[in-house]
Amino acid sequence: MKDNQAAVADRWHTAVLDTYPPQTAKLWKQNTNRFTNPVGNSTLAALTALVGDLVVWDDADRICTHLEDVIKIRAVQDFTPGKAVSFVFLLKKVIREVFAQDISRHGLASEVAALETRIDNLALMAFDIYVGCRERIYLMRIEEFKNRYHMVFRKAGITCTDPGDILGPLGPDGESA
Amino acid sequence: MALKPEELIDSIDYHHPPKTDWMDTPNDFKPGRWAYPGKIDVIKRIHFPNPREWSPGDADWKLPENWKEIIYNGMRERLDKYRSFKVFMDICVRCGACADKCHFYIGGGDPKNMPVLRAELLRSVYRNDFTAAGKILGRLAGARPLTLDVIKEWFLYFYQCTECRRCSLFCPYGIDTAEVTMMARELLHLLGININWIMEPVANCNRMGNHLGIQPHAFKDIVDFMVDDIENYTGVRVKAPLNEKGHEILFITPSGDVFADPGIYTFMGYLMLFHEIGLDYTLSTYASEGGNFGLFTSADMMQKLNGKMYHEAKRLGAKWILGGECGHMWRVINQYMDTMNGYMQEGTNLSVPRSPITGTVFKNAAATKMVHIAEFTADLIRHNKLKLNPARNDHLKVTFHDSCNPARGMGLLDEPRAVIKAVCNDFHEMPIETIREQTFCCGGGSGLNTDEIMDIRMRGGLPRGNALKYVRDKHGVNTMACVCAIDRATLIPLANYWAPGVNICGVHELVGNALEMKGQKERELNLRGESLAELAEEA
Amino acid sequence: MKALYSLFFVFALLLVVLFGVGAAHLNMLFGVWIPYVAMAVFLLGFIYRVYDWAKSPVPFRIPTTGGQQWSVLPEVKQNRWDNPTTVRDTVIRMAFEVLLFRSLFRNTKSEVYKNENGGPVVAYASAKWLWLFGILFHYSFLTIVIRHMRLFTEPVPGFITLIDSLDSLLQIAAPTLYLTDVALVAAATFLLMRRILAPQIRYLSLAADYFPLFLILAIAISGIYMRYIAKVDVIAIKELTMGLVTFHPHIPANVGISFYIHLFLVSILLLYFPFSKLMHLGGVFLSPTRNLPNDSRVRHHENPWNPKIKCHSYADYEDDFREPMIEAGLPVDKAE
């Protein structure tokens, strides 16, 4: 697994892009300019990092950062919540495909089981992050509304200066404007 | 019993669209994919067709009975009125150069957001009804008959185009999807299909003078708040003349600068600047909206709303008009205003704008008599007419977002940069593919800056957000300046989501903070009322 | 599927000639009347389409500005060819557009990025190919059309002979190989393959996009076949073509079937041209986002149908709000 990280990441990337319409998937895989093709390239970078994280499995914060890079994008695309985080499970399939021979030849079932447990953990983290992203979207909607009528509220004397008073703190790093 | 993960994988349909041609792919009308339709009373106020209670989520859109005929005649009329429309319907070769240029496609991946396919949604009907090949060969020639589903599809996708014109830049024939979208939206209006986020500002702007419909006395109170704030922060009491006759200049800015956070800080910047140079100007409550949502509605509505600027300039006797920081407002002024309303200049005092401070004659505004504030300020700075202390912005690492309309519908690129560089010491450009004429939209242009479609906006904003994140990580950028009121609203959630930690401001907010004013007290707070000492410490 | 329809149709056209000339001996029809009709339809159709576009006015000047505007600030340098304000600069912009495909070239900023493993990757390769093969295709086509003019002129003007000899510069094979023959076939094949193989392009392609490519390929191949394999009697062909242009049509004896195939396919192309996307040849000159200066702020432009819609007047506005305005100390026109 350590030696094959790039191959795993690449297969995983392909599998994830295949959750988009085929004509889009191809384009996003081909264009390697990170500014004109942010989805394809952010996803690839984050998945590659995640494969590495999975092997090392030491820093939950870092793993969350990488997961968030992917989920953030999928959370605002036309996916149901399940489909948005399903990409994590695709990794199981990819690993079984890439290492099929090694697994059967060397009897690595227990290693695979351990790895898959990590992936299950990853999925749970992904779910938390997804919900966090959605919460942030809704808070942003409220914030935007308040910003728009900022002076009108002030004129009416109904300004609320700290949204935290009412709404609680914003998402992970979504500071109030 | 829950499924095992592997079984779950197999059971999930990974969102492959049905393997059908785009003409056969059904459209999804779940909430969040469309903006709310216009309210009955709003539609009645501006006399638009078919006011009624309806929702895009309903099966029945309650269209007039002869809707097909209305669309046919509407298309006929527009083909005869606009060469652009006719040529763009005919000459596309579907080379695909535009396909990956649209921010909505780049961020979302829905093939119908490729500019070429967006235009094909309309073109297919055009071929069917107006071309020989389409009439004879039908689908082989890319034609399809007009059905209710086609109309619904138009609504979905022509309200997922921000008329940003990025595709037009890359098209070998200059086909401009903005132009196609405008035509499609005009056609939809004929049937009473519209969105409230555009129609209500239009109605308000028409009658009350600004998008929010704030009445003149309240408007005055709000401006006075800002005059008070400026006095608190600087110790200088500035004047903000309203509706006064006999001034040299009429100043018009989008009303977002007066009502919305953070536009108000930009507005305070204007007031301080005008006070400091002793500009002879007035604001107007009647023409208190620089923005023109008519541009997103119909050519007629755009003309009607825009006319107020010359009408008010005439009444007040202004010699020229100074325009604030706004995006689509400047597309209207640069490419439409004099052509449609130039005749209204008759009998006014309007003449070719000349800066009373530097003597510079703005020959590039000889016809419209309207100067962009960034040009005006850049000229002041060039002539050393302002005393600036950029160090007050030293806690900021600034980048600049080119707004679509000033970039691709005008070419205002270096003027705002000249101003920013004079008032900030730490400026970094975003990557070249994402700025200047290649700039990416904020995802909320053309009247799509409403919050019920926040998901669509966020995916449309991804390319911009991604470039912003890059400079944030690379240079520590913490501020993105812009010259557009819609941007000042939409970039906040965009940055919040894609590049947390970056604040949004107008260019003249930075000017206001850097500006040294005669008789000012020790400047301890910036225009947002934040302690400069604390900010410097944090930075 | 759409590609297959188009391919079948081109084959059907071939069969028409094989039967028409080979079996039914309708030489006059295929050698004279169809080409005449095709040429007439092409010319009249082309003119009509351009006239039809030109008939619709250009109400507003809506150039897509691709660079810095003209500014009165001396240090702000105008990007004159991407954001022109004068007629001269607009003409230059159009020349870049039409002759060099400038907008398409914008795609092609080929930048080298490092991929995840540190290897260099050229971004936008496909777009670069599109520009390259696009321009190769169009210029080859143009050269070939000019070369063919030697069959329609007597004596042959010098520049045509010159282009002919430049085109066969390599001096390989006999008769000497034309560079443009190779280039045209290669470019058309690339454009076709791109449509068939790139999923996003395939998705947006219509039958009307494949058909002209197949047709042009068939024309090129039939021409090449005539020249290098069938080695047709060029003297006889020139007799026929000169007969056509001098309006003394006449069918010489030694003209082979391959010529009729070539001529018929060209006729079909001419017939098809005015009704198709191929009209971009004329349309590119009429595109309002390119062929107009960005000068509506500088000089007045007349919209022939300007509706002069009246705005909601200040007087009406004041009538709505006079009382609160006076109360707030705002100046009013009619204080009653």
* Domain tally, chain C: 2
The predicted structure's pLDDT at residue C213: 94
Residue B2 has pLDDT above 60, yes or no: no
List Cβ neighbours of C10 (8 Å cut-off, separation of 6 or more): C211, C214, C215, C218, C265
CB C212, CB C276: distance < 8 Å: yes
Does residue C311 sit in the same domain as residue C273? Answer: no
C residues 136..195 contacting B (CB < 8 A): none
Q: What pLDDT band is residue C6 in, cutting at 50, 70 and 90?
A: confident
Does residue C126 sit in the same domain as residue C258? Answer: yes
Does residue B264 sit in the same domain as residue B380? Answer: yes
**Contact yes or no for B80 and C56 at CB 8 A:** yes
Tokens 């109605």, residue located: B203
Does residue C111 sit in the same domain as residue C70? Answer: yes
Nearest CA distance, B261 vs chain A (angstrom): 5
Q: What pLDDT band is residue A162 in, cutting at 50, 70 and 90?
A: low
B residues 28..87 contacting A (CB < 8 A): 28, 33
**Contact yes or no for C64 and B176 at CB 8 A:** yes
Residue B385 lies in a domain: yes
CB C113, CB A32: distance < 8 Å: yes
Q: How far apart are CA B272 and CA B527, in angstroms?
A: 11
Q: What are phi and psi of B536, to 5 degrees?
A: -65, -40
Q: What pLDDT band is residue A177 in, cutting at 50, 70 and 90?
A: very low
The predicted structure's pLDDT at residue C60: 95
Does residue C48 sit in the same domain as residue C18? Answer: yes
B233 at interface of A, judged by CB pairs closer than 8 A = no
The predicted structure's pLDDT at residue A26: 80
Does residue B326 sit in the same domain as residue B273? Answer: yes
User: In this predicted model, which residue has the larger pLDDT, C125 or A62?
Assistant: A62
Does residue C317 sit in the same domain as residue C244? Answer: no
Residue C258 has pLDDT above 70, yes or no: yes
B501-510 per-position pLDDT tens digit? 999 999 999 9
The 3-state DSSP class for residue A125 equals helix
N residues, chain B: 539
**Contact yes or no for C199 and A23 at CB 8 A:** yes
The stretch B400-413 carries a mean pLDDT of 96
Residue C119 has pLDDT above 50, yes or no: no
CB B255, CB B291: distance < 8 Å: yes
The 3-state DSSP class for residue B239 equals coil
Q: At what angle are helices C34-55 and B83-90 packed, to 10 degrees? A: 140
Q: Name every chain B residue with its beta carbon within 8 A of the beta carbon of C113.
A: none
Does residue B449 sit in the same domain as residue B482? Answer: yes
Does residue C193 sit in the same domain as residue C117? Answer: yes
Residue C41 has pLDDT above 60, yes or no: yes
Does residue C277 sit in the same domain as residue C332? Answer: no
User: In this predicted model, which residue has the larger pLDDT, C6 or A2?
Assistant: C6
CB C129, CB C121: distance < 8 Å: no
Does residue C288 sit in the same domain as residue C312? Answer: no
Does residue B185 sit in the same domain as residue B329? Answer: no
Q: How far apart are CA B464 and CA A36, in angstroms?
A: 10
Q: What pLDDT band is residue A92 in, cutting at 50, 70 and 90?
A: confident
Domain end: B131, B165, B194, which one?
Answer: B194
Residue B17 has pLDDT above 60, yes or no: no
Q: Which helix (H) or strand (E) holds B121?
A: helix B115-130
Q: What are phi and psi of B49, to 5 degrees?
A: -65, 150
CB B413, CB B401: distance < 8 Å: no
The predicted structure's pLDDT at residue A174: 44
Both structure tokens of B195: 């969105």
Q: What is the residue-wise DSSP string for B281-347? A: EEB-STT-----GGGGT-HHHHHHHHHHHHHHHHHHT-SEEEE-S-SHHHHHIIIIIHHHHGGGGTT
N residues, chain A: 177
Does residue B306 sit in the same domain as residue B158? Answer: no
**Contact yes or no for C199 and A44 at CB 8 A:** no
> Do β-strands B479-482 and B398-401 pair in parallel, antiparallel, or remain unpaired?
parallel
The predicted structure's pLDDT at residue A159: 63
Does residue C67 sit in the same domain as residue C156? Answer: yes
Q: Name every chain B residue with its beta carbon within 8 A of the beta carbon of C101.
A: 172
Does residue C92 sit in the same domain as residue C22? Answer: yes
Complex ipTM above 0.95? no
Does residue B62 sit in the same domain as residue B168? Answer: yes
Cα angle: A166, vertex A167, A172; to 5 degrees: 145
Does residue B181 sit in the same domain as residue B216? Answer: no
* Domain tally, chain B: 2
C31-C37-C38-C41 Cα dihedral, nearest 10 degrees: 170
Does residue C232 sit in the same domain as residue C178? Answer: yes
A155 at interface of C, judged by CB pairs closer than 8 A = no
C179-194 per-position pLDDT tens digit? 899 999 999 999 999 8
Does residue B251 sit in the same domain as residue B316? Answer: yes
CB B330, CB B406: distance < 8 Å: yes
Does residue B449 sit in the same domain as residue B509? Answer: yes
DSSP letter at B361?
A: B
Residue A61 has pLDDT above 80, yes or no: yes
The stretch C103-125 carries a mean pLDDT of 54
> Do β-strands B320-323 and B370-372 pair in parallel, antiparallel, or remain unpaired?
parallel
B254-292 per-position pLDDT tens digit? 999 999 999 999 999 999 999 999 999 999 999 999 999
Helices (H), A18-76: 22-30, 38-56, 60-75
List Cβ neighbours of C148 (8 Å cut-off, separation of 6 or more): none
Of C116, C117, C200, the CB nearest to A24: C200
Q: Name every chain C residue with its beta carbon within 8 A of the beta carbon of B214.
A: none
pTM value is 0.90
Domain range summary for chain A, segments of one domain joined by +:
2-137
**Contact yes or no for B258 and A151 at CB 8 A:** yes
Q: Name every chain B residue with its beta carbon within 8 A of the beta carbon of C2.
A: 140
Distances (CA, A) of C126 to B97, B380, C110, C188: 10, 46, 10, 15
B-interface mutation test, from C204, C275, C284, most B Cβ less than 10 A away:
C204
Q: Determine the structural domain holding residue B481 and report its residue range.
A: 202-538
Name the residue in chain B with its Cα closest to that of A25. B109
CB B326, CB B290: distance < 8 Å: yes
Does residue B455 sit in the same domain as residue B498? Answer: yes
The stretch C238-259 carries a mean pLDDT of 88
The stretch C299-327 carries a mean pLDDT of 94
The predicted structure's pLDDT at residue B19: 61
Does residue B246 sit in the same domain as residue B334? Answer: yes
The stretch B420-439 carries a mean pLDDT of 94
Q: Determine the structural domain holding residue C314 and report its residue range.
A: 306-336
Q: Which of C213, C218, C228 is closest to C263 using CA atoms?
A: C218
Q: Tally C-beta pairs within 8 A across A and C.
A: 32
Does residue C293 sit in the same domain as residue C331? Answer: no
Does residue B307 sit in the same domain as residue B451? Answer: yes
The predicted structure's pLDDT at residue A57: 84
Name the residue in chain C with its Cα closest to that of A42. C116
Domain holding B158: CATH number?
1.10.1060
